[in-house]
Amino acid sequence: MFNGLSFEKLLLVGVIAVFLLGPDKLPSYAAKLGRLVRTLRDYADGAKVRMKEEMGPEFDEVDWKKLDPRQYDPRRIIREALLDDAPAAAAPVVKPVSRPEPAYLSRKKDAVQPDAPQDLSTPYDSEST
């Protein structure tokens, strides 16, 4: 969490705190900081205990490092998906049924009497536009 925090940087922060707060207030603020860190740690431990209680024995089976968002690498995920050893079952190819003419025209021909002239144009409603 604090990977870039070295001893020199902490010492510099401490020196700045001594100058800003003064030697009178520094011990009380250090005690408050200690209590805050302890409280946050207790909250985190409580959340962990509650998760263990709610998940039951499955809690130990979960690989928490795998769920860490810092481990997310889209290139690795795509590479693993493409180089998967198990070939995926190919879906059967369904060919569309070809008709010699559109369904609308075939229905229209069935409905039209053979003696009447055939109107093969698309129906148009002038009030709808």
Q: Tokens representing 40?
A: 């946050």
70 falls within a domain: yes
77 falls within a domain: yes
6 falls within a domain: no
Residue 40's pLDDT is what? 95
Whole-model pTM? 0.41
Residues of the chain with pLDDT under 50: none
Residue 94's pLDDT is what? 64
76 falls within a domain: yes
88 falls within a domain: no
Distant-in-sequence, close-in-space partners of 18: CB < 8 Å, separation ≥ 6: 26
Residue 72's pLDDT is what? 79
How many domains does the structure of the chain reveal?
1
Residue 129's pLDDT is what? 61
Residue 34's pLDDT is what? 93
Residue 79's pLDDT is what? 85
73 falls within a domain: yes
Residue 92's pLDDT is what? 63
32 falls within a domain: yes
Amino acid identity at 78:
I
64 falls within a domain: yes
- The residue range of the domain holding 71 is 24-82
Cα distances from 96 to residues 93, 106, 107, in angstroms, run 10, 18, 19
Residue 61's pLDDT is what? 81
